[in-house]
Structure 1
Amino acid sequence: MVERVTRTGKADGGRGAPRSKQIVRLLGQEAGKLQYLSPGSRPTDMTFGRFFNSTFVSNSRRFVYVKNDKAGSSFIIRSLTRSEKRVRRIRHRTPFLNRQANPLLTPAELTPRQWERALSHYFVFTFSRNPFSRTLSCYLDRIVGRDESYFVLQKRIGFADGAQPSFTEFLEMLGEEDVLDLDTHWKPQYRNIAYDYFNYGFVGHFENFGVEFPALLSWLYGRKAKLGEVRQGTSATKQLADYYDDRTVALVRDLYGRDFELFGYDETAPLKVEPVRGNDMDFVSERRRRLGRAA
């Protein structure tokens, strides 16, 4: 998706943030990135750009959200952005994917010391998805639908213009050298979210999104989620039986074995997408401790 800079306008409900402020923030973000040039200062599983673009920090509510593509990420970011605006009384329009307008911070806007404190003391969360439905959703949406991921794969593999790989061929391509990390929509989730770098307080299940995310948003902001806004996309879950056989099950299991293990999904049952291990959400019944100043 191409990010668009909003037009200059006054800070009211129908106008965008002044472009000059967005430019100043962009320059600050770019300068802030220089602090993280050392590979040891950022997750090894994330590219330099993804670390900043896919990590959302709230100092007001003391949390870090890490984006995981194909697991409700756009809806989550949009909901968090709206909630953050309400808490901070921001009235101008904020395109939620424009990091220069979004009120949620990137790590580049924190010093390394502040970032380390956020990692230690902030609530870090994300959402996972059953690899069977996630991979099929990626195939239907990004390959059959000819999104940009299609051309990324075509350039790497070299198949003919207009060719449509079958689902089995797609999975076999992902198994080739250096292909699995080419695109975050099919990259293993544990690497997508830098599981070994962040100390996660909660990894939700996309399959239980209607229960888990509203409870989480209410706990963070005291605000209800409007779940009717969730995009249904390709409805991959309804098409699992059409695409999975012994061969495709084995391929997905080999590609995403650690995802199945870490996030509690059954690698032998492609038609049963619900997690076999539930999440403990007792923490949402407890009142969040008084939020201190930014780190």
Structure 2
Amino acid sequence: MGFPGTWMTTSESVVYRVVPKCACSTIGQIMYYSDHGEYFDGDIHDAQSGLHKWALEGSKEPITQNVQNHSSYSFTCVRNPYTRILSSFFDKICGIQRNGRRYRGNLVPQLIQRYGIDVGGPDGTGEFDQIASFRRFLLFARDSIRFRKPMDPDIHWSAMSGHISTFIVNGGTYDRIIWTEDFNAGMQDVLDAIETPHSVELSKVPRFNESAGHGPKRLHPVEDYFDDLSMHLVYEIYKRDFRLFRYDFENPASKAPLGEIDLDEVHAKLGD
């Protein structure tokens, strides 16, 4: 299986396991800058050079050698499951993607037909009941993850622990897992632990939120989207994420983690 979703600087200063919807655009740009002294011009996900990516054929061998030998500092980044699934909904389901089309072609029309989801019309600009529509999307997300119906789960709303585990199962070891909610402090710890060709001042790094502007603005506080049934569905999907990364399941309004991540526990429980 190798190391899907793994990026590495060309200088091999650091290895990063991408978790979608967890500051991956910003992290990728920081890695790119640390090697080249400039940011990639465009969405870092489109970069075909200047950064090793598992999806690039020429990167597979150096990534495999590095990760299996633990030659470089390796890290990943996680996010509160409540805000992550909400972000996925507004970006991928309600939003028009940067190619000018809906995400995954017929996915949204299928959800409108099967689950009664409303996304604000063809261009996403119409008014719609965001809360009711999101809760119906949650049913779809649960069905795709638990039962792989009506389709396989998408990387943007499948559990973070699933992404993170592939790195461990295939021989990788994490030195750090940082939180999106405390990004600068966590990313600074990563930068302090490595040597890069170009130094990075985090206070000057722009936020490369590639999904911003794709979808409608969220109109309500996070907690308003989750009633008792919605919380049950979220826990059914993301139970391991809440436990391993120390997020508060009981209170959707509480974004911050409740305690430190135990890396030994993560490796033990996700390495099976």
TM-score strictly above 0.5 = yes
- Letter matched to residue 183 of structure 1: D
Asked whether 1:159 is paired with 2:113, we answer yes
Deviation by residue 1:11-42 (Cα, 9 ceiling, x = unmatched): xxxxxxxxxxxxxxxxxxxxxxxxxxxx4xx2
The answer as to whether partners of 1:143 and 1:150 remain within 8 angstroms in 2 is no
Asked whether 1:252 is paired with 2:234, we answer yes
Q: Percent of aligned positions with the same letter in both sequences? A: 24
Counterpart among 52, 58, 62 of residue 105 in structure 1: 52
Counterpart among 215, 219, 227 of residue 189 in structure 2: 215
What 5-or-longer segments of structure 1 have no aligned partner? 1-38, 44-50, 282-295
Question: In structure 2, do the counterparts of structure 1 residues 239 and 144 end up closer, same or farther at CA, with 3 Å as the change threshold?
Answer: farther
For 2:59 and 2:87, locate their aligned partners in 1 and report how far apart those are by CA, in whole Å.
35
Point out the structure with max Rg over C-alpha.
1
Q: Tell me: higher relative CO, structure 1 or 2? Use CA pairs within 8 A at least 6 residues apart.
A: 2
Asked whether 1:178 is paired with 2:153, we answer no
CA RMSD of aligned residues (A): 3.4
SS of the aligned residue for 2:74 comes to strand
Name the count of aligned residue pairs.
227
Matches within 5 A, 1:36-51: 39=1, 42-43=2-3, 51=4
- Letter matched to residue 17 of structure 2: V
Counterpart among 66, 79, 85 of residue 17 in structure 2: 66
Aligned position for 2:161: 190
Q: Which shifted more, 184-193 or 227-236?
A: 227-236
For 1:94 and 1:203, locate their aligned partners in 2 and report how far apart those are by CA, in whole Å.
27
Asked whether 1:120 is paired with 2:69, we answer yes
Matches within 5 A, 1:3-22: none
For 2:63 and 2:137, locate their aligned partners in 1 and report how far apart those are by CA, in whole Å.
42
For 1:131 and 1:237, locate their aligned partners in 2 and report how far apart those are by CA, in whole Å.
19
Asked whether 1:229 is paired with 2:183, we answer no
Question: In structure 2, do the counterparts of structure 1 residues 238 and 230 end up closer, same or farther at CA, with 3 Å as the change threshold?
Answer: farther
- Letter matched to residue 160 of structure 2: Q
What 5-or-longer segments of structure 2 have no aligned partner? 120-131, 264-272
Aligned position for 1:135: 85
SS of the aligned residue for 2:258 comes to coil
The answer as to whether partners of 1:57 and 1:65 remain within 8 angstroms in 2 is yes
For 2:174 and 2:159, locate their aligned partners in 1 and report how far apart those are by CA, in whole Å.
17
Asked whether 1:144 is paired with 2:115, we answer no
